[in-house]
Amino acid sequence: MTITPSVIIFDVNETLSDMGPLAEAFNQAGMSASLTRPWFAELLRDGFALTVAGDNPDFAHLATDNLHRLLTQTSGPGKYQKQVDDIMGVFKNLALHADAVPGITALSRVADLVTLSNGATSVAQSLVTRGGVQDEFARFLSVQDAARWKPAREAYDYAATETGHTVDELLLVAVHPWDIHGAHAAGLRTAWINRTEATYPSYFTAPDIEAEDLVALAGKLTGP
């Protein structure tokens, strides 16, 4: 069944941004590139824990604190501000995935486009500006202005309020199954971007649409 939303809400980190360059940034800081994904997963885990406890943490603060502790664990006691700054510099200046520009352009003909990130709006704006598609977006939203992080219901309700639409008129696009599950619970329709041919977790609510990239998603939304 084709879904025609009024607004398409994009997750930002990993969904739009290609985090591949972080591996080399970790190497340059003296850490194994294999620590990149565990670092990001721990950052999300701690953010979710604080969200459950009723807090709305600052994404960048969690990211830098986790990096300081990881560097201490892997390299021993010391001052690592330069390494942290270098990694965060790469993280804040990532490029879009190769499918993002054509996909965003095509999707902008389907509905209004909005980002909703657990990070800062400035990071999302800079990301799409570097890709030359900033004008395709109607709004840039962050949970910093909501009550709690995604996947808490308040984050998605905030997006609905800010866009002036009911939650069932929104389509959440994300690579993270936890985001898909949270959006579904809040009443949004969902699209899971599966660039890695992963298996969707059975314990999360399945997405309404699965697509291998944003171009394919646009095709599914506009096709017969």
State pLDDT tens for residues 160-186. Answer: 999 999 999 999 999 999 999 999 999
State pLDDT tens for residues 4-29. Answer: 899 999 999 999 999 999 999 999 99
Instruction: Set out the domains of the chain in order of their start, with CATH numbers.
Output: 7-18+95-222 (3.40.50.1000), 22-91 (1.10.150)
**Which of 201-205's residues contact partners 24+ apart within 8 Å by CB, and which partners?**
201/177, 204/177, 204/178, 204/180, 205/180, 205/181
For residue 38 the two structure tokens come to: 């565990």
User: Is the peptide bond between 151 and the residue preceding it cis, with omega within 30 degrees of 0?
Assistant: yes
pLDDT tops 70 at residue 2? no
Confidence (pTM): 0.95
C-alpha angle 126/195/188, rounded to 5°? 70
Work out the mean pLDDT of the chain and round it to a whole number: 95
